[in-house]
Amino acid sequence: MFATTSLTRRSYRTQALAKAALFFTTVVLVIPVLLVLGTLLWRGGPVISWAFLATPPASDGGGGIALPLVGTVWLVVVALLASVPVGVAAALYLSEYAPDNFLTRAINLAIVNLAGVPSIVHALFGLGAFVLFFDFGTSILAASLTLAVMTLPVVIVATRESLQAVPRAFREACWNMGATRWQTIRKVVLPNSVSGVLTGVILEVSRTAGETAPIMFTGAAAFMLFHPESVMDQTMAMSLHLYVIATQTPGVPEALPYGVALALVSIVIFMNAVSIAFRVYLRGLKKW
């Protein structure tokens, strides 16, 4: 009475094939990541030590990574402070206030296209705009603002999608109670979309910490003797330091570039892990 029909069997076979294809695709994507991490751990793990993290680099490419490590934190933090408020404000306007017309659609298209601009183009823009026009010089501020402009589309898109995911019924309930649009956004919409904002922050941290071209032209130095004291100083950075010792400095120990790369990847993973843990915590507070 309940025998499986040929159509049902074909549906099961199609579902099994689709599941196998998706699993194979996932494995193909994961294997290179595991190989890269495994190589870094195998060849760079012996280099990692407290002395390596706390010792400044030497002029011959040796030494530790204390100065590039501090400089990378400077660049990431200042870039976040510059881009997150602007990105969230732009996403709020586009999602909650802007009318659906030609201008708004053109702005959305420009944001998407800006995300695909090569980093070297952003580097030249930062050189012309922040280093020369605004006269910030080669500094942490100029480099961080360049990184902020480069990663701004990521923050805007992630925040806007998170805002649009909040049910419209929440907004209508607030409006029916007499709340203004801004009160609704501040008390209801934003608290329920913080996790999406953190998604943009996670993506920005990952890209900001690993970029080389934008900071090479605007504020990063190949070698320094002292830590930066303000945003108007130059700084070393992990990505540029890795490039210099791996390609420009002869006689560097073979394991040293792998150790620097491992430290850089570990920093990005740690920052992402903190943001993801906070995002999961906030999602757990949701009632819908």
The CATH number for 230's domain is 1.10.3720.10
- pLDDT for 287 equals 59
Question: Half-sphere exposure of residue 116, counting CA atoms within 13 Å on the CB side?
Answer: 4
Taking alpha carbons only, the member of 140, 131, 124 closest to residue 224 is 140
Assigned domain for 61 exists: no
Give helix 140-165 / helix 119-126 axis angle, nearest 10°.
Answer: 130
- pLDDT for 191 equals 82
| pTM score | 0.84
Assigned domain for 100 exists: yes
Burial class (CB in 10 A: 0-12, 13-18, 19+), 147: buried
Assigned domain for 164 exists: yes
Which residues in 90-120 are b (16+ Cβ under 10 Å) and which e?
bbbebbbeeeeeeeeeeeeeebeeeeeeebe
Assigned domain for 202 exists: yes
- pLDDT for 147 equals 92
Vertex 145: Cα angle to 260 and 162 (nearest 5): 90
Assigned domain for 43 exists: no
Assigned domain for 156 exists: yes
Assigned domain for 236 exists: yes
Query: Which residue segment(s) compose the domain that 197 sits in?
Result: 66-284
- pLDDT for 157 equals 87
User: What is the C-alpha to C-alpha distance for residues 261 and 273, in angstroms, rounded to an integer?
Assistant: 18
Number of structural domains the chain divides into? 1
Phi-psi region at 56: left, alpha or beta (left = phi > 0; alpha = psi -120 to 50) = beta
User: What is the C-alpha to C-alpha distance for residues 260 and 257, in angstroms, rounded to an integer?
Assistant: 5
Write out residues in the chain with pLDDT < 50, as ranges.
none
- pLDDT for 286 equals 64
Assigned domain for 254 exists: yes
- pLDDT for 96 equals 86
Amino acid at 228: P
